[in-house]
Amino acid sequence: MTVRVQEAPFDPAVELDGFAAGRTDTGAQVTFTGLVRGDGGLHHMEIEHYPGMTEKAIAAIEADAVRRWDLTASLVIHRYGRLAPGERIMMVATAAPHRKAAFEAAEFLMDYLKSRAPFWKREASETGAAWVAAKDEDEAALDRW
Amino acid sequence: MIDVLYFAWVRERIGLPKERVKTGAATVSGLVDELRAREARYEAAFADTSALRVALDQELADFDAPLEGVREVAFFPPMTGG
């Protein structure tokens, strides 16, 4: 289980190189990478977070995933600060003996990171900046777990 | 004395990220009432607590949660990670 909250960019290829290394009981790895989408004239995004709580909240979500699925490894990286369209915001990786657990655990991690990890996005365009409002569908997505 | 932290638009409306608050409130709601009574900028930030979330010592909590033994309270809008 690894959690990293950082301002700096990351390279998924480098992260995956050592992921679940040395485990011969892993048959499946799933990765998800989230990027800044340049909708509606977005110039850049600012991500604020709650240092201290962020790491704890993500670790608790990851621990929950490990309890629910038979994971051999998991990784969450989430950035904060100023990000331009096309930049990577975050990634999730899961490893399990079989693919169903790896896919489901990755979706679970994503759903919970959306609305239970203390990050707040602010979008800036040429005309101004606004905080991104939480979506009802993101809250509803937790119900299936 | 407890540390009170504000994030995102709550921080912007109140105009500071963190302050030390002397409170006699028994619950989070009681603390919110004390803060709202201070100045218009607090009233603006706490006008609709259904639009806010609270964490006590870095764990999500409810507005009726007790403050006894709590060292850090944080107020913020619903989270938008991922």
Q: What is the mean pLDDT of residues A15-32?
A: 91
A18 falls in which pLDDT band (50, 70, 90)?
confident
What does the mean pLDDT of chain A come to?
95
In a domain, B43, yes or no: yes
pLDDT of residue A40: 82
Which stretch of A22-26, A59-63, A131-135, B33-37 has the lowest confidence by average pLDDT? A22-26
In a domain, B81, yes or no: no
How many structural domains are present in chain B?
1
CATH number corresponding to A2-9+23-137: 3.90.1170.40
* Beta-sheet strands, E only, within A1-145: 2-6, 28-35, 42-49, 73-79, 81-83, 88-96, 119-125, 128-131
B78 falls in which pLDDT band (50, 70, 90)?
very high
The whole domain housing B41 covers 2-76
First to last CA, chain B: 34
Q: What is the CATH number of the domain that holds B61?
A: 3.10.20.30
pLDDT of residue A11: 97
Q: What is the mean pLDDT of residues B10-35?
A: 97
Contacts of B82 in chain A (CB under 8 A): 34, 89-90, 110, 113-114, 117, 119, 138
For residue B54, is pLDDT > 90? yes
Extract the tokens encoding B12: 């912007």
**Hey, of A46, A115, A120, which one would you mutate to test binding to chain B, going by the most B CBs within 10 A of its CB?**
A120
Are B1 and B21 a contacting pair, CB within 8 Å? yes
Domains in chain A: boundaries: 2-9+23-137
What's the rounded Cα separation, in Å, for the pair A37 and A50?
Answer: 23
Q: What is the mean pLDDT of residues B39-62?
A: 96
pLDDT of residue B61: 97
In a domain, B40, yes or no: yes
What's the rounded Cα separation, in Å, for the pair A88 and A12?
Answer: 9
Q: Is A16 exposed, middle or buried (0-12, 13-18, 19+ CB in 10 A)?
A: middle
In a domain, B28, yes or no: yes
CB atoms within 10 A of CB A8: 7
* Inter-chain CB proximity B82 and A133 less than 8 Å: no
